[in-house]
Amino acid sequence: MTIILMRHGKPDHHVGGRINAQALADWCEAYDLALVSDLPPERSIHIARQAAVVVCSPLPRARSSLVQLGLHPQEIDDLFSEVAIPLLRSERVHLPTPVWLTLLRLLWLCGYAGETESLRHARRRASQAADKLIEHSQRGTVLLLGHGIMNKMIARELRKRGWQAEKHASSRHWSSAIYHRPFI
């Protein structure tokens, strides 16, 4: 039994310049609506086509990545959605978008969630997602077309359950992590 965790392709959404927190909220909303702008590499196509069961996040960048791979999901579930960036309420501070994203993700890892999902809740959701993927794997190789942070959290849950990594997750677009069932 094998579970493949693949990150979506590059979203058709530019990074932008220096913005304030409200503009970042607008940027995040547009990012969540973006489709992918690139084609998958041959390696990703080859890996994805091994799947007997295909599941994905409902976010457009994940669903359009499946279209680029020529695959159709058997299941689309919010359980596999990316963890949202917590936002701040500040009109004064203007930072480059990548700095905002890094800073807010670090704050989230340190416990600040604002009005978004907490780290504790995201870990619980990743555990549920891992359970669901393991259940699907009884029907054959599973492909999850998902997102960077959530895929890494799911990978951690799989490792806690004894699944062995053939290939670890990367944060690059179209990257994949491949896990095999533990041999007991």
CATH number reported for the structural domain that contains residue 83 in this entry: 3.40.50.1240
Structural domain harbouring 55: 2-180
pLDDT in tens, 33-42: 999 999 999 9
pLDDT in tens, 78-104: 999 999 999 988 888 999 999 999 999
Tokens representing 9? 């392709």
Tell me, yes or no, if the pTM score tops 0.85. yes
Give Rg (Cα) of the chain: 17
Count of domains for the chain: 1
